[in-house]
Amino acid sequence: VLADDRGPALSKPVDLQLDRAHTARIYDYYLGGKDNYEADRVAARAMEQIFPYAAFAARANRAFMHRATRYLAEHGIRQFLDIGTGIPTTPNLHQIAQNVAPEARVVYVDNDPLVLAHARALLVSSPEGRTAYISADATTPEAILRAPQLADTLNLAEPVALSLYAILHFVSDGRDPDAIVRTLMDALPAGSYLVLSHATSDHSSEEVSKAGIDVYHSRGIDFQPRSRDEFSRFFDGLGLIEPGVVGPHRWHPIGGQPPKSLDPQVAFYAGMARK
Ligand SMILES: C[S@@+](CC[C@H](N)C(=O)[O-])C[C@H]1O[C@@H](n2cnc3c(N)ncnc32)[C@H](O)[C@@H]1O
């Protein structure tokens, strides 16, 4: 497989590690995509045995990304840094942003070699705008900030929307997710935004929560769902945008507030804040 993160001229082979489950591919399975393999499907089905709404939750999260991106572009944001991008799924973030503002510039970051292999789809920008892809780990935010693709694409003197959709629950406290968010937000000027979504066990029994965590841990994947308070702390020092921390399906919903019964099925929190 040839992959490129800097354009076709710099193609290089990558090991896709098909023998083990990856979160990007499990998520792709839930979204009905084709970029998942046997190990991913086995993991996804194991999770569905415990939490039958996993695909519904993934779709609610993706729909939140759509609405949040549109909101940001409609509120004047023209630069986006999206970490934990996932396998390209139309519409991608840049397509939503550039639909509102064709000049919008987007830098994507992910650590999965399969996302890298598909990065070309993320690099088809509008002619007025620009997109770039950085193959990097979220736990090394300094490396992301130093990447030449970032400097080539974004002007850090102007506001940037930093987004981490459905990724920070894959970074347990031992790997200091607060430091990731802080390091990145510190590099961005006032007027920048932070957008997050995150899995929670707040609506589950201890038994279900533990079984869900085990599906990931038994495959060597770090996973830590967080409570509403733990999630809200990522926004400390920033100004939360209405309606604050809510389920992603409750954040600026189209067509009125969804019924309360959906909260345990989505089992996610989401929020947006301004620096
Ligand atoms: C559940 S998917 C979410 C995709 C997309 N953000 C969305 O919400 O639609 C999580 C993504 O985060 C990526 N990811 C997980 N841990 C990561 C890390 N430490 N560094 C970079 N990317 C990571 C995975 O490869 C995957 O693409």
pLDDT, tens only, 209-234: 999 999 999 999 999 999 999 999 99
Q: What is the CA(29)–ligand 1 centre distance, in A?
A: 14
**pLDDT score of 11:** 57
Ligand 1 close to Cβ of residue 30 (< 6 A): no
Compute the distance between CA of residue 225 and CA of residue 47 in angstroms, rounded to an integer: 14
- Indicate the angle between helix axes 38-50 and 206-217, nearest 10 degrees: 170
Q: What is the pLDDT of residues 154-205, one digit of tens each?
A: 999 999 999 999 999 999 999 999 999 999 999 999 999 999 999 999 999 9
Q: Residue 275 gets which letter from DSSP?
A: -
- 191: tokens are 């007027």
User: Whose CA is closest to 196, among 97, 56, 26, 82?
Assistant: 82
| Of the listed ranges 5-19, 47-61, 63-77, the one predicted with least confidence | 5-19
DSSP 241: P
Kindly state if the Cβ of 232 falls inside 6 Å of ligand 1.
no
Pocket test for ligand 1, best of 20, 106, 111, 222 (most atoms within 8 A of CB): 111
Distance of CA 57 to the CA centre of its chain: 14
CA dihedral 15, 87, 118, 40 (to 10 degrees): 30
Which numbered atom of ligand 1 lies nearest the CA of 27?
1
